[in-house]
Each structure stands twice: as structure tokens, then as C-alpha cells.
Amino acid sequence: MPYAHSIPYFAPAERLPAPLPSIEEIEAGQEMGPEKPIAGQRVVRVGQHFVVKHGWWVRPVEGLNMLYVSDHTTVAVPHVYAIYQQEDAEGRTCTYIVMEYVDGRPLNECWSSLDSEVKETISSQLRGVLDQLRKLPPPSSDEDDDDYAPVFKSVDNGPLHDGLFWTEGEEVPEVNGPFRTEGDIAEALVRKLELEGSDFKPERASYYRRVLPHVLRGDGKPTFTHADLQTKNIMLRPDGVLVLLDWEWAGWYPRYWEYSIAVFGCGFWVDDFHAWVPKFLDEYPNEYLWLATIRGFLWY
């Protein structure tokens, strides 16, 4: 069956800690986003209880991912109170995701100050979290059948949202997905490089087409993946519970994807988080290196 929640979504009144904030209150909210904000995306705190992510670059599927994880696991994610859309003054469709304010510190701010015992406890907790996520089967769609079902996809049965599958303007299904096989994903990465890599020569594309299906290999099955598992997106609450934030890219990816992103997120190499990743994720170092090379060619 398709996933139960749809847009707009509003939590039952009895679940709300306070009345939902108005658009005016959201616009006046306290900025919580990165130092260099993304165009079309704001994250603000509104009052004591709410954080709102909103803008024309925000996707409703981010809120649906949190609802899905909350409905099917014991993984701690921010409670989602509302997901809705509204046009702005320029006629762009803006998404509003109203969620719980989580008290705590992201691991990127405190990891270096933690001792080995605490890091071991955090790693053990992350292993339990990720083991739960990996057991989540992809929801079916009306188009799925036993013979040909796109299985690497998002919770809304749409494309994968990692930037490696994004195309500007017109959709390119061969790049965006959904995908049936890991081989289709390898081909999508080559197509992405051909579309956006200004110096991606045809002979290099030919080489990548030949080797990527052999070097990017999980177990062939879709694995539910947070897809942005960096220390900045792991909140440590005062009670020691970890809360995973920023579910924008989540979906069913190859099994190696989570490890690759987690190590790629260590790219500034400012602490030893990379040494602890193998305690909660199976290692795929070859896949990480290839995906890091592709990302570097496109964006760095």
C-alpha cells in the first residue's frame, strides 16, 4: 500500500504542545539554520516548542520521512506537527514543516570533548538506530508489480533526493530515479556527470560505465537510509538519547550509501568521528572513495 500520510498533514490537536504558529510568527522566527543559508530555505525557532523549516526549496517528503520513521520504529526524530504548502509573493510554492524543538547539542559541537566511554555508548546507540532503519521495507505504489518494481526510491514513491540524483529544470528519470537495480544507479551517476561535468570527457564516461557497476555494489536490495548522517545532524539530548535531524535526502538506497555519506561528512577531518563509524555501520571504503571522487568532480 502507498504510504498513509499525505500533504497537507496536521497532527491531532491533542498531540500539539501549543497552537500551531501563524505564517507571520514563522516569518519573524529566530534563525537556526547554517551560517550560509541555502536560498529558498529557512530554519527558525518559534516560541518555546516549535522549529519550522520552510521555503520554496523545502520538500514535503522531508516531513513525511520523519513521520514514517516515527510510525514504524522507536528511533528518536523530531515530532512533526504540520506539513503544508502556500504560495509566496513571487508565486513559488513554499513548504512549511512544523516540528518539535529538540533540546540538546549536535555532535559536531561536542564530539571532541567526549571521552571514549561516552563515544562507545553513542556508537552503540547509533548501531541500534541504524539496524532499525535497515529493516524498513519500501512502501509499494500502484505501479509496482512482481516483475518490475522501482525499489530504490523515496517514501512518497518518488525520486531519490541526494544531490547526485538532482537535475536542474526538466526532470531526467534516468538520473532522478526511482531505480530498479544498483546497475541503474551506476548509470544514473554517469549520466549526471555527463550532464553537469563540463570537463567530463566521453572516454572517461566510457570507463565509468564499465567499472562503476563493479565497484558500487551493496547487496542488491534497497536499504532505508538517512542519507546525510553527519555529526551536525545527530543531536545529543541531555538525557543521553540521540535524535536524528535533517531527513531531506532519506529513502531506499544501496546498502553502502549510509557509510559513504557518514565518512564523506568527516571531510574536514577535524576529529576522530571517522574512526567510530565502523562501530555502527558496515564499512564500504571503496564505494566511499568512488562517490567522493564523483562529488568532488561535480562540486569541489
* Residues 52-85 pLDDT 10s: 999 999 999 999 999 999 999 999 999 999 999 9
Which are the contacts of 103, defined by CB distance < 8 A and separation ≥ 6? 237, 238
| φ, ψ (nearest 5 deg) of residue 252 | -100, 105
Average pLDDT, the chain: 93
Which residues constitute the domain of residue 58?
A: 9-100
Give the CA-trace dihedral at 42, 45, 50, 52, to 10 degrees.
0
What is the domain-level CATH number for residue 35?
3.30.200.20
Angle 232-166-81 (CA atoms, 0-180°, nearest 5)? Answer: 50
Q: Which amino acid is at 178?
A: P
pLDDT band at 158 (very low <50, low <70, confident <90, very high): very high
What is the domain-level CATH number for residue 259?
3.90.1200.10
Alpha helices in 148-220 (DSSP H): 173-176, 182-196, 202-215
How far, in Å, CA of 252 to CA of 242, rounded? 22
Q: Which of 100, 123, 138 is the last residue of a domain?
A: 100
pLDDT band at 147 (very low <50, low <70, confident <90, very high): low
DSSP letter string, 95-155: EEEEEE---SEEHHHHGGGS-HHHHHHHHHHHHHHHHHHHTPPPPP-TT--SS----B--T
Residues 123 and 262 in one domain: yes
Using N-to-C axis directions, what is the helix angle for 182-196 and 202-215, rounded to 10°? 160
Instruction: Specify if 2 maps to a domain.
Output: no
Q: Which of 62, 80, 100 is the last residue of a domain?
A: 100
pLDDT band at 252 (very low <50, low <70, confident <90, very high): very high
Task: Enter the C-alpha cell of residue 256.
Answer: 553502502
Residues 129 and 54 in one domain: no
Q: Which of 114-123, 131-140, 173-182 has the lowest mean pLDDT?
A: 131-140
DSSP helix/strand/coil, 267: coil
Q: Which of 83, 100, 117 is the last residue of a domain?
A: 100
Q: Is residue 50 within a helix (H) or strand (E), and if so which, with residue range?
A: strand 50-55
Cα torsion angle, 296, 105, 73, 97, sign: negative
Q: Is residue 44 within a helix (H) or strand (E), and if so which, with residue range?
A: strand 42-46
Residues 215 and 83 in one domain: no
Total structural domains in the chain? 2
* Peptide bond just before 37 cis, omega within 30 deg: no
